Amino acid sequence: MHTKNMERATFKIEIPFTDHAHCIGRQGNQIQSIMLATDTHIHFPDGNREPNGTKSNQVSITGTITSIEQARKRIRDILPMSLKFLISPRELIHIINDDYPLFKYVRRRYGVIVLPRPYAKTGDVYCIVRGLINQPELAEATEYLIQAFYGFESSLIKVTCQTEVSEQYHGYLQTRQQSKDMCIAAIEQYTHATIQFPTTIINTNGYGRRTSVIISGSPTQVCQARKLFDLCLPIILTFEVPIDKEPTRADIAHIKDKLNITTILRTRKDKIGKLVIVQSQEYNTDQLFRARSIILGLPEINNNILPISSINNNNNKNTLFDLNLSSTIFSDLS
């Protein structure tokens, strides 16, 4: 097996298919700049280009371990996010359109997109505020608009954010346990936002897609919950191993127990070496790299990598997701 192949790996991550065009950019310029800067190849599903094609959220990033992690972070940083709330009916005596003076002021002050969106079935008009997921002004602009429309009632107004998650992962996300994983219940408890999966919202709130997940709460709560929700999403790392490095069942069990990672072995088409597929949640990405280093017998990195034979003797227990220790994770997202 070529050494070059050993150095390369592939990430498969969940990016809402509705955001793919934004990530790719006009004429592909935005994603091309990321690939050039990180020396990676990033592939978006071809089926999403067809209006009636099967939509897929899975984006693949191929390169060295360092480069694919850099690319993953860059993609996450450019993701768009929209907040939506109902405009008070009493405000509809005004002509609320794209040129509404309040909207023009907020766009200029906060650097976000503000649009009115009528809902034909009910006659309601919603306000859509759109920015980037890591843009603090998104919540600030939305709070300003709610205050302008509702005054002293503004604290009672909830906003929603819609994101898309592949249907096969809904059960995975809803069954994560707080003792080992970053889970939905813990995010709701910490942020006081509500996260709804399609089984509870189909045909009730006008959201028809079976992939849609709705986050609701105050603007600050929803923005924080959305960032944490993305850290819950499944992530897959695929890499090649030579036959003499193939992990045993005992090795795989050790890695699952200590690093909270699922490992699958597959035979390559050329039958030279094996493909190793390791999966966890995005907050646990460092442990995916650790699992790879352990399997390949690579030297320690930052004193974190231990050979399989010494995992059981490690006195420093891994802290994965513990709500009592979550301030470290959450402080970076505030």
Domain boundaries defined on the chain = 3-77, 80-157, 160-232, 234-323
pLDDT for position 273: 76
Q: Does domain 234-323 have CATH number 2.60.40.10?
A: no
Q: Residue 41 corresponds to which tokens in the numbers above?
A: 């190849």
80-157 folds as Ribosomal Protein S8; Chain: A, domain 1 (3.30.1370)
pLDDT for position 49: 65
Sheet of 262-267: strands edge to edge? Answer: 41-43, 58-64, 8-14, 234-241, 274-281, 262-267
pLDDT for position 180: 58
3-77 and 80-157: same fold? yes
pLDDT for position 4: 58
pLDDT for position 271: 66
Contact 159, 85 (CB under 8 A): yes
pLDDT one-digit tens code per residue, 243-301: 888 888 888 898 988 898 999 998 877 667 789 999 999 999 999 999 999 998 887 45
How far is it, in rounded angstroms, from Cα 191 to Cα 326?
12
Residues of the chain with pLDDT under 70: 1-5, 47-53, 177-182, 200-208, 270-271, 300-334
Q: For the domain bounded by 160-232, which CATH number is listed?
A: 3.30.310.270
Classified as helix, coil or strand, 316 is coil
3-77 folds as Ribosomal Protein S8; Chain: A, domain 1 (3.30.1370)
CA 209 to chain centre: 18
